[in-house]
Amino acid sequence: MNKLDKCLNIDDLRRAAKRRAHRMVFDYIDGGADDEVTLGRNTGAFDDYDLLFKVLAGANNVDMSTTLLGEKIDVPFFASPAAGHRLFHTDGERGVAKAVDKAGTIFSLSTLSSVGIEEIASLTSGPKWFQLYVWKDRGMVKEMMDRAREAGYKALILTVDFPIAGNRERDPRNGFSIPPKVGPKQAWQALMAPAWSLDYLIRPSVKYANLSQDTAAVSLQNFVYEQFDAGFNWRDAEWLLGEWNGPAVIKGVVRPDDARRAVDLGFNAVMVSNHGGRQLDRSPAPIHVLESIVDAVGADAEVILDGGIRRGTDILIALALGAKAVGFARPFLYGLAAAGEAGAERAMQILTTELERDMILLGTESISAVDRSVVVRRAAR
């Protein structure tokens, strides 16, 4: 049995990532904002729900497939966008894209990826979406959209909960930057992570691959302050939809009124998300506000739950409350940091296997049969 076979769940992959990765890298994946209250809530909130399983249902031929923005996918989950995969392992976005393709679902590429738009587009035949932050330079925004469209990305994800970087205190304590800059503290911690350090030393340097020029090593807070447009508003979002002129997802919504306004503006899907607890601390767990957003949107758009997914049962709860699918990043990033492409593939396998087993135990043979009748929220204690 190899070390990945011993990883029976996502938390096992997390521990494996912590053992292999440099501390600043692991904390970047694992951390949240301020006191990390929301970070903990995102996962813990699933404990507030029970699944009401059916018996004698004969559910032995499970179909986990669904469609998302017209794309047929084999499982009702996909890879949410995340920055700088090559910092975690040299396989980077290349490895994750291939792992996600094997799972038969969608890979989302971040604006701040460490492998370029065109290379990832040509790497697999599976569906791909492109995530966009809004830069102060609107010419750069349009250029990235044009490149993604020409490369065959099917949908645009606009992240709207990131006007400035959240107060992620683990990062400045560790001296985290992209590309990494190495001082005495980072060098000492590198000795504790020899596998990661060897990768880092012998491979090409980690950079934001989609930017037109090299970016100096700076803290995330400084980079976002210098480059991102905190004044981006609904009128600008309307402009962006017109420039993209295709399927579009708004990511980072926790209020029903914002979700309704986004759909009325022209967004085809809403990702209920608080940026993994990395932005405004004490914002609500996505699963707690999912049902109200599904009701506000109705049949006019698809709703995606992003945040806190660690188990197949988490996926079932989100689907039962009305999500068309779920997205996640930490599970496959833990796998990537632990063992590269093979680790990311293991993360997808774990959740696929759990979901199939849990659907049988729930007594449902298809995703469409997972509805509000199978979930109940516990009374407040």
- Report pLDDT digits (tens) over 28-43: 999 999 999 999 999 9
How many structural domains compose the chain?
1
Q: Can you tell me the mean pLDDT for 137-165?
A: 93
| Nearest to 123, CA basis, from 138, 137, 109, 140 | 109
- Chain segment 133-144, per-residue pLDDT in tens: 888 888 888 999
- Retrieve residue 159's tokens: 């992240």
| Spatial distance between the Cα atoms of 273 and 267, rounded to a whole number of angstroms | 15
Top-confidence range, 52-56, 163-167, 208-212 = 52-56
Q: Can you tell me the mean pLDDT for 323-331?
A: 98
- Strand pairing report for 49-51 and 375-377: antiparallel
User: Which residues share a beta bridge with 326?
Assistant: 77, 305
Q: Does residue 205 fall inside a structural domain?
A: yes
Whole-number Cα distances in Å, 2 to 6, 24, 309, 339: 7, 26, 25, 11
**Tokens 């976005």 sit at which residue?**
93
Cis, bond preceding 172 (omega within 30 deg of 0): no
How many helices (H) and strands (E) are present in the chain, helices listed first?
15, 12
At 306, the pLDDT band (50, 70, 90 cuts) reads very high
Expressed as residue numbers, the domain containing 68 is: 10-377
Whole-number Cα distances in Å, 325 to 10, 36, 145, 258: 19, 26, 24, 20
323: Cβ–Cβ under 8 A, 6 or more apart, which residues? Answer: 272, 290, 294, 303, 304, 305
Count of CB atoms within 10 A of residue 226's CB? 10
**Tokens 């806190």 sit at which residue?**
308
Report the predicted TM-score, pTM, of the whole model to 2 decimal places: 0.94
Q: Can you tell me the mean pLDDT for 45-62?
A: 93
Q: For position 212, what pLDDT does the model report?
A: 59
| Spatial distance between the Cα atoms of 76 and 315, rounded to a whole number of angstroms | 8
**Tokens 């930490």 sit at which residue?**
330
Q: Does residue 134 fall inside a structural domain?
A: yes
At 351, the pLDDT band (50, 70, 90 cuts) reads very high
Amino acid of residue 198? L
**Does residue 21 have a pLDDT over 50?**
yes
Q: Can you tell me the mean pLDDT for 200-213?
A: 78
Q: Does residue 18 fall inside a structural domain?
A: yes
CB distance 11 to 30 below 8 Å: no
Work out the percent of the chain whose per-residue pLDDT is above 70.
Answer: 95
- Retrieve residue 188's tokens: 């000492």
Q: Does residue 95 fall inside a structural domain?
A: yes
The DSSP symbol for 204 reads P
Q: 90: buried, middle or exposed (CB in 10 Å: 19+, 13-18, 0-12)?
A: buried
Q: Can you tell me the mean pLDDT for 229-246?
A: 92
Spacing of C-alpha 320 from chain mean position:
20
Say which of 22, 85, 89, 275 is annotated catalytic.
275
| Nearest to 148, CA basis, from 178, 98, 114, 110 | 110
Q: Does residue 2 fall inside a structural domain?
A: no
Q: Does residue 3 fall inside a structural domain?
A: no
**Residue 22: active-site member:** no
At 187, the pLDDT band (50, 70, 90 cuts) reads confident
- 91 HSE (CA, 13 A, CB side): 18
Q: Does residue 125 fall inside a structural domain?
A: yes
| Spatial distance between the Cα atoms of 253 and 148, rounded to a whole number of angstroms | 23
Q: For position 217, what pLDDT does the model report?
A: 44
- H-type alpha helices, the chain: 10-20, 23-30, 37-44, 92-103, 117-123, 138-151, 170-174, 184-191, 194-202, 220-227, 234-244, 256-265, 286-297, 312-320, 330-362
Q: For position 157, what pLDDT does the model report?
A: 98
Spacing of C-alpha 70 from chain mean position:
20
- Retrieve residue 251's tokens: 């990511």
**Does residue 191 have a pLDDT over 90?**
no
| 35-47 burial code (b ≥16 CB/10 A, e <16) | ebebbebbbebbe
- Retrieve residue 298's tokens: 């109705």
CB distance 107 to 75 below 8 Å: no
| Spatial distance between the Cα atoms of 135 and 199, rounded to a whole number of angstroms | 31
**Does residue 218 have a pLDDT over 60?**
no
At 215, the pLDDT band (50, 70, 90 cuts) reads low
Q: Does residue 1 fall inside a structural domain?
A: no
Domain of 328, CATH number, reads 3.20.20.70
